[in-house]
């Protein structure tokens, strides 16, 4: 599949076969594993559990991951076959829109943990299920409007030889220094800063506290949640952001076409890495559902319902507590 670079030069890019093979090999396990993990997470999070702030953020993250995963088969199909223009726009909006939602939700989880742990008294005023729901709604609205204005407002690229639609090749504003690109870059910088700052501060604060027997397991679990959250964000989303910035700058400088082709191949690989986030989120889901289970009193109907939906988590936690109690 070929693609024309827009800007100060005419450069046609064709995805290398080895890159296509890499994407095909990576996307299949991502689709299957991500769908299973996120579906299990939704069942565990939504099955008669109290609507806590963390549950709300994780439910939205799992929903976003599932929506993105459903677009992956079409992404694979589009490598060899043309998609109708309207369908391409819809799928492209779903795909890139949920990438934004995922990064925002991961950021919200870190900020929520930061407030809850470092400012427990202020947290009662700053945190609530209603406020978490409002924040999630704002994230969905912002991400949807940003992508819809981008995708439906700029058109879809066509292959110069076949006139067939080129889908899933990245938003058109990446071809030049536009306001959309600046907003995109600033969003990531802010998100990365929040995730890093909150994770480091909370982990440092927890390690400084006395290791009381009653709180050690909660502390370790919280550290794992934050570490997994931060690592997932950095590993999955940083490479693609670096690649996008390099590509935009190189196009703006009208560098040699060969260099642009290498950069685009790199970005195609980093997009795959970003999608691995859908599976890595499963580790975060496990830690948080385990934390939720610990917060539910023994012998209650809510505890019984939770253990019916997540028996593995309950059994592991019981064994862990028994060995270290």
Is position 280 within any domain? yes
Give the pLDDT score at 23.
Answer: 87
Condensed to tens digits (0 to 9), the pLDDT of residues 217-235 reads 667 777 777 787 888 899 9
Banded pLDDT at 133 (limits 50, 70, 90): very high
Question: Which residue is associated with the tokens 């490479």?
Answer: 239
**pLDDT tens by residue, 160-179:** 444 444 576 655 545 555 67
Residue 138 lies in a domain: yes
Q: Is residue 88 part of a domain?
A: yes
> Residue 161: its pLDDT value, please?
46
Contact 110, 229 (CB under 8 A): yes
Is pLDDT above 50 for 6? Answer: no
pLDDT confidence bin for 7, thresholds 50/70/90: very low
Tokens 């099955």, located at residue = 47
**Mean pLDDT in the chain?**
76
Residue 315 lies in a domain: yes
Q: Containing domain of residue 285, as a range? A: 2-320
Whether pLDDT at 239 is above 70: yes
Tokens, residue 11: 């450069």
Q: Both tokens of residue 293?
A: 């289970």
CATH number of the domain encompassing residue 292: 1.20.1070.10
163 sits in the region (left: phi over 0; alpha: psi -120 to 50; else beta) called left
Number of Cβ atoms within 10 Å of the Cβ of 131 = 14
pLDDT digits (tens, 9 = 90+) for 79-120: 777 778 888 888 888 888 888 899 999 999 889 989 988 888
pLDDT, tens digit, 9 for 90 and up, residues 37-81: 888 888 877 775 567 888 899 899 999 999 999 988 888 888 777
Specify the pLDDT at position 215: 61
pTM as predicted: 0.79
- What pLDDT is attached to residue 162? 44
Give pLDDT, residue 49. 58
State residue 234's pLDDT score: 92
76-85, 192-201, 262-271, 285-294 — which one is most confidently predicted on average?
Answer: 192-201
Please give the sequence-ordered ranges of beta strands (E in DSSP) within the chain, or none if there are none. 2-5, 11-14
pLDDT of residue 48: 54
Evaluate whether residue 325 is within a structural domain: no
CA dist., res. 24 & res. 75, Å (int): 10
pLDDT computed for residue 4 by the predictor: 44
Task: Domain count for the chain, please give it.
Answer: 1
Interhelix angle 129-154/179-208, rounded to 10 degrees, is 150
Q: What is the mean pLDDT of residues 176-200?
A: 86
Q: What percent of the chain has pLDDT over 90?
A: 22
The yes-or-no verdict on residue 281 having pLDDT over 50 is yes
Q: Helix, strand or coil for residue 63? A: helix
Predicted pLDDT at 131:
93
Q: What is the pLDDT of residue 74?
A: 87
């Amino acid at each position: 599949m070929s693609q024309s670079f827009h800007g100060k030069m005419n450069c046609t890019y064709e995805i290398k076969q080895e890159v296509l093979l890499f994407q095909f090999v990576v996307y299949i396990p991502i689709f299957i594993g991500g769908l299973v993990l996120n579906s299990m997470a939704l069942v565990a999070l939504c099955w008669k559990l109290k609507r806590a702030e963390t549950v709300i953020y994780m439910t939205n993250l799992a929903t976003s991951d599932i929506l993105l995963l459903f677009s992956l088969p079409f992404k694979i199909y589009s490598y060899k076959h043309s998609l109708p223009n309207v369908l391409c726009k819809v799928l492209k909006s779903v795909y890139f829109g949920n990438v934004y939602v995922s990064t925002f939700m991961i950021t919200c989880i870190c900020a929520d943990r930061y407030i809850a742990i470092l400012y427990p008294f202020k947290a009662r005023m700053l945190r609530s299920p209603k406020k978490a729901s409002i924040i999630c709604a704002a994230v969905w609205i912002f991400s949807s409007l940003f992508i819809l204005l981008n995708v439906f407002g700029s058109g879809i690229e066509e292959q110069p030889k076949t006139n067939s639609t080129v889908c899933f090749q990245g938003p058109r504003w990446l071809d030049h220094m536009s306001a959309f690109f600046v907003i995109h870059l600033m969003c990531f910088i802010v998100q990365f800063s929040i995730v890093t700052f909150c994770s480091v501060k909370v982990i440092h604060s927890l390690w400084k506290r006395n290791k009381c027997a009653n709180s050690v397991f909660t502390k370790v679990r919280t550290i794992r949640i934050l570490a997994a959250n931060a690592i997932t964000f950095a590993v999955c989303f940083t490479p693609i952001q670096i690649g996008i910035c390099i590509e935009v700058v190189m196009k703006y400088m009208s560098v040699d076409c060969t260099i642009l082709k290498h950069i685009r191949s790199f970005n195609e690989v980093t997009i795959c890495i970003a999608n691995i986030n859908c599976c890595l989120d499963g580790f975060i889901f496990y830690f948080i559902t385990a934390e939720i289970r610990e917060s539910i009193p023994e012998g209650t109907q809510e505890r019984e319902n939770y253990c019916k939906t997540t028996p593995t988590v309950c059994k592991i936690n019981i064994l862990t507590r028994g060995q270290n109690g």
